[in-house]
């Protein structure tokens, strides 16, 4: 499958979980490009696994200077960018999501900053380096459609991502840049280890499996395959919408 031959791609948070799965799928489809993240160790491991056509650039997506640096360096190395995946997000380090009485203004802001504001400015900062006709994929979540305990702010941020893709599609129509949301269901990644203690991990994963009609958690490669489609010309007529890859969780359970 060489649907993305020589396409220049950037995956934020490409050093872990879903982001790494997307970068691997891009590589297998013939793409080159950049992965980002803050953790140098996991960035090194991930970029070594991806091989010579990928580079790793350290950066915090909540920091505008870091974002500019990622896109400038990518363009210097590969030329203009054909596909961006805004994937970095999820759990804020050391800050529990919490139910309504546990949330502070600071924790609220930190979740909105990571899961919504950073997505907006990641797209804004990539624009000078993006080819006309490029594909931008915002990683949403099935949480936008199905409530789970203690996840209201995260869910609201991810629901707003769907609207962001619609509005940005309109803004970027003159340049024929497509913006879509790709929303994963429960995917087996390190994020679960950040949410629950080790001894509860298998039990919590089983709860998600039980509400997923296909009877398993998704794999990062499931999301990677959908991202290849959205990054390729095969999806040229898909604009400003959401694709759910959730094993049926939000539609038929
Ligand atoms: P992981 O925790 O495995 O990965 C999160 C990634 O985001 C890491 O690469 C991390 O890198 C990066 N990241 C986090 N904060 C920042 C920051 N401030 N600046 C730069 N990079 C950052 O989680 P997943 O792979 O599971 O999640 C990836 C995306 O998928 C998220 O947007 C999440 O909300 C979404 N999602 C996940 C689901 C799941 O079931 N796993 C379900 C639905 C959506 P580093 O720590 O090095 O900065």
Domain 8-245 -> CATH class: alpha beta
Name the β-bridge partners of 178: 135
Ligand 1 binding pocket includes 177 (Cβ within 6 Å): no
- Cβ atoms of 235 and 229 within 8 Å: the answer is yes
pTM (predicted TM-score): 0.98
Q: Is the CB of 21 under 6 A from ligand 1?
A: no
How far apart are alpha carbons 18 and 248 in whole angstroms? 18
> Which residue do the tokens 């969780």 mark?
249
Q: Using alpha carbons only, give the angle 45, 180, 148 rounded to the nearest 5 degrees.
A: 75
Report the atom number in ligand 1 closest to the C-alpha of 186.
40
Closest atom of ligand 1 to 15 CA is 9
- For ligand 1, say whether the CB of 116 is within 6 Å of any of its atoms: no
Verify whether ligand 1 is closer than 6 Å to residue 217 (CB atom): no
> CA-CA distances (angstroms) from residue 18 to 100, 171, 189?
28, 27, 7
The whole-number pLDDT of residue 1 equals: 61
Residue 81 bridge partners (DSSP): 130
Pocket flag, ligand 1, residue 224 (CB < 6 Å): no
Q: Which of 221, 146, 132, 229 is nearest to 180 (CA)?
A: 229
Cα(246)–Cα(55) distance, integer angstroms: 30
From first to last of its 253 residues, what are the pLDDT tens digits of the chain?
689 999 999 999 999 999 999 999 999 999 999 999 999 999 999 999 999 999 999 999 999 999 999 999 999 999 999 999 999 999 999 999 999 999 999 999 999 999 999 999 999 999 999 999 999 999 999 999 999 999 999 999 999 999 999 999 999 999 999 999 999 999 999 999 999 999 999 999 999 999 999 999 999 999 999 999 999 999 999 999 999 999 999 998 7
Gap from CA of 238 to ligand 1 centroid (Å)? 25
154 is catalytic: yes
C-alpha 183 to ligand 1 mean position (Å): 13
CA of 174 to the centre of ligand 1 (A): 31
For residue 2, what pLDDT is reported?
82
* Residue 170 in tokens: 């309109």
The conformational region for residue 146 under phi > 0 = left, psi -120 to 50 = alpha, else beta, is beta
User: What is the position in ligand 1's atom list of the atom closest to the CA of 59?
Assistant: 20
Cβ of 17 closer than 6 Å to ligand 1, yes or no, is yes
Q: Which residue has the tokens 């993240």?
A: 37
Query: Could you give the 3-state DSSP secondary structure of residue 57?
Result: strand
User: Ligand 1 centroid vs 157 CA: distance in angstroms?
Assistant: 14
In this structure, the strands spanning 130-139 and 81-86 are parallel
Contact indicator for 10, 84 with CB cutoff of 8 Å? yes
């Amino acid at each position: 499958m060489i649907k993305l031959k020589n396409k220049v791609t950037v995956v934020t948070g490409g050093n872990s979980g879903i982001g790494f799965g997307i970068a691997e799928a891009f590589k297998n489809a013939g793409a080159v490009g950049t992965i980002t993240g803050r953790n140098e160790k996991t960035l090194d491991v991930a970029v070594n696994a991806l091989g010579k056509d990928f580079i790793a650039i350290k950066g915090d997506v909540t920091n505008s200077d870091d974002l500019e640096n990622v896109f400038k360096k990518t363009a210097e190395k590969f030329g203009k960018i054909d596909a961006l995946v805004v994937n970095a997000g999820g759990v804020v380090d050391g800050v529990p999501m919490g139910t309504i009485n546990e949330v502070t203004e600071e924790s609220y802001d930190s979740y909105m900053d990571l899961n919504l504001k950073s997505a907006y400015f990641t797209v804004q900062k990539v624009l000078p380096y993006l080819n006309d006709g490029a594909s931008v994929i915002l990683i949403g979540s099935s949480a936008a459609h199905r409530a789970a305990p203690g996840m209201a702010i995260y869910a609201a941020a991810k629901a707003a991502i769907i609207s962001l893709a619609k509005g940005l599609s309109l803004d970027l129509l003159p340049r024929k840049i497509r913006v879509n949301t790709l929303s994963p269901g429960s995917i087996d990644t390190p994020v679960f280890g950040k949410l629950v203690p080790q001894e509860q991990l298998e039990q919590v994963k089983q709860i998600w499996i039980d509400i997923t009609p296909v009877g398993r958690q998704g794999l990062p490669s499931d999301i990677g395959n959908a991202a290849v489609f959205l990054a390729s010309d095969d999806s040229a007529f898909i604009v400003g919408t959401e694709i759910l890859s959730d094993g049926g969780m939000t539609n038929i359970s």
